[in-house]
Amino acid sequence: RRGEMAKLTQLIDNEVFRAYATYTAIVLLKMMLMSLITAYFRVTRKAFVNPEDAASFGKGESAKKYLKSDPDVERVRRGHLNDLENIVPFVGIGLLYALSGPELSTALLHFRIFTGARILHTLAYLIPLPQPGRGLSWAVGYSVTFSMAYKVLKTAWLL
Give the one residue of 44, 62, 69, 155 binding a second copy; rule: CB under 8 A. Answer: 155
58 in contact with a second copy (CB under 8 A) = no
DSSP string, 85-130: HHHHHHHHHHHHHHTT---HHHHHHHHHHHHHHHHHHHHHHHTTPP
Give the one residue of 18, 119, 123, 126 binding a second copy; rule: CB under 8 A. Answer: 18
105 in contact with a second copy (CB under 8 A) = no
61 in contact with a second copy (CB under 8 A) = no
110 in contact with a second copy (CB under 8 A) = no
Q: How many alpha carbons lie under 13 Å from residue 130 in its C-beta half-sphere?
A: 0
Give the C-alpha separation, 144 to 149, whole Å: 9
Contact 16, 58 (CB under 8 A): no
140 in contact with a second copy (CB under 8 A) = no
Three-class secondary structure of residue 69 per DSSP: coil
User: Among residues 90, 82, 86, which one has the least CA distance to residue 149?
Assistant: 90
157 in contact with a second copy (CB under 8 A) = yes
Give the footprint of a second copy on this chain (CB under 8 A): 1, 4-5, 7-19, 21-26, 28-29, 31-32, 34-35, 49-50, 52-53, 55-56, 74-75, 78, 80, 84-89, 91-93, 95-96, 99-101, 128-132, 134, 142, 145-146, 149, 152-153, 155-159
